[in-house]
Chains A and B, each alone.
Chain A
Amino acid sequence: MSLVSASTSSAEQSNSRLAESAKPILRAFVLLLAGALLWEGYKAMGQATGGTWPLTNVSLPVRTNSRSMPHVWDVIGALFRPARRGGEDLLLIILLRAALFTWRSAMLGFILGSAVGFGIGVLFTRSRLAERGLMPYVAASQTIPVIAIAPILVIWGGKLGLPNWVPVMVVSSYLAFFPVAINTLRGLRSPAPTAAELMRSYAASPTQELWKLRVPASLPYVFPALKVGASAAVIGAIVGELPAGMGQGLGRAILNFASSFSSAPEKLFASVVISALLGLVFVGLVSVFERLTVPSTSRHARKEPLGART
């Protein structure tokens, strides 16, 4: 009987769905506000006590002067001023252009990395031998720092005569593939043994078993990993741009503003904010795709992703 009472009119449903999709935006806004308040609160406290915790002599971990911690409004203000004295473009425009440029490599890297990660998951599900032989390499790949990999790939890419965005994309995919591979493998193995027996009783081919049973069952595991992969791909692209000598991306912008940190710290903080926003938008896009693909019932059963790289 509860089934009857649970079905509401479609108008009501679309209304509540609208409210449902507005909720995360509101939540993000509140969190941003809280973050800004904490920042300014800490700063005000430090200014009042002269750099120590209240009523103690213990000094604060980060100095609170405007050189170390510019005011939130100064950071926002910097976004809406020209980046250089006498320059035409606002810092915001320059950073957004750089973010868009970086996002292109990150997007391609994310797609490549996810495809490779998914492929590795499928291969390892089909072959225990492949898993045993290759898993150590997959795991080891993540212990090598990106700053070591990136120049190697750039040099190789240059030797092969590839355009310089190719190695950047590969660095980005290098960070994205791992969480996708690990969680795809886990998701593909998630169906109960009886579900596999059921497919066998229908004389389903291995390919049918993969696409009708294992892949749909893996999606609640794969999507959280794709979100981890999306943000990792952004980091990979930013780091990869540096040895590739690409001047238009966020990597160069961050490096430039870091070198002038002591004179204009708010510009570095502004580029950090834009980088973070880029990651958030990317992860948000994956979430939208998830909502369209996975029915909410199986999304509820999703697990935390393994192999999230920090």
Chain B
Amino acid sequence: MSLDSSAAISLRDVSVTFAGGAGGNVEALQGIGLDIQPGEFISLIGPSGCGKSTLLRVVADLLQPTAGAVSLTGKTPQEARQDRDYGMVFQAATLLDWRKVLANIELPLEIMGLDNVERQAKANAMLELVQLSGFSDHYPWQLSGGMQQRVAIARALVFEPSILLMDEPFGALDEMTREHMQMEVLNIWRSTGTTVLFVTHSIPEAVFLSTRVVVMSARPGRITDVIDIDLEHPRRFETREDNRFFQLLTEVREALRRVESES
């Protein structure tokens, strides 16, 4: 089967094998096939070591697949990276601690060669989007973990990529902040129309955020289930108390348990 060039992200038979040490080669990903349509919110979930982050890095052209084909909006990952078609957010905010908040958000624009006025206008607009307008002159260490992660999201979106890749972005946050951030990322997703590929460990997070949840197994990493999340949009605080929400939680949990018992 060939790549879907109209898809935001298209993966065909993607495998990644790491040349191992004593234990021989490690097969991190095996035969991954997935099409993500523009505007979707896809979560990758699975036991640790299932290659979720590896898959994200393959999409981002930070890692070459051993076999298979990948396209982003019809381009190769390398072309997509050079065209800045995606923004990336890691578990650690990875802000540059010698730059103030606004300058951190301006970083990708600086690299793209935009002039000062345009940079500041765009960065300020993003700060407003993540509700941190009053903090442009603060240093990263003066912000809480949740605020730092909002700056990282603003930085990933400031050059208006069509795809947002997020690697456990809320993994280090407390539950309250986490739920708050989930709501915020959904608001940003709806207002920007960005396609999101989101790696997480948390079942409720995957179900609450996504249009589809992709369940993966470990060693080798494969896709075992793709579960449609038919919860109403926009998701609200009460969505988490919905019966359908609990049914879907159970569905994902069962899928994960089948994965565990297999391996």
Contacts and interface: CB of A to CB of B under 8 A. Distances in A.
Interface stretch (B22-30, B79-87, B197-205, B245-253): B79-87
Interface in B82-113: 82, 84, 86-88, 90, 92, 94, 96-99, 107-108, 110-112
Contact of A202 (B97, B107, B141): B107
Q: Report whether over half of chain A's contact residues are helix, strand or loop; otherwise say mixed.
A: helix
A126 interface: no
A266 B112 CA distance: 64
Contact of B110 (A212, A217, A298): A212
A294 to B, nearest CB: 7
Contact of A195 (B86, B87, B96): B96
A55 interface: no
A30 to B, nearest CB: 32
Contacts of B87: 201
Nearest to A298: B98
A112 interface: no
Interface string B98-132: 11000000011011100000000000000000000
A57 interface: no
Given A212-B107, A212-B111, A297-B139, A201 B86 contact: yes
Nearest to B142: A3
B176 to A, nearest CB: 17
Given A201-B62, A202-B108, A297-B139, A192 B92 contact: yes
Contact size class for B?
20 to 34
Contact of B92 (A194, A217, A294): A194
B139 A216 contact: no
Given A201-B60, A297-B141, A216 B98 contact: yes
Interface residues of A, number: 23
A194 B81 contact: no
Given A294-B98, A295-B98, A204 B81 contact: no
A47 interface: no
B138 interface: yes
Interface string A40-55: 0000000000000000
A204 B112 CA distance: 8
Nearest to B95: A195
Nearest to B100: A295
B81 A200 contact: yes
Contact of B82 (A192, A203, A217, A294): A203
A198 interface: yes
6 contacts: A192-B94, A194-B90, A194-B92, A201-B60, A201-B81, A217-B98
Given A294-B98, A297-B97, 15 more contacts: A194-B92, A195-B96, A197-B62, A197-B88, A197-B90, A198-B94, A200-B62, A201-B81, A202-B84, A203-B82, A212-B107, A216-B99, A217-B96, A295-B139, A297-B141
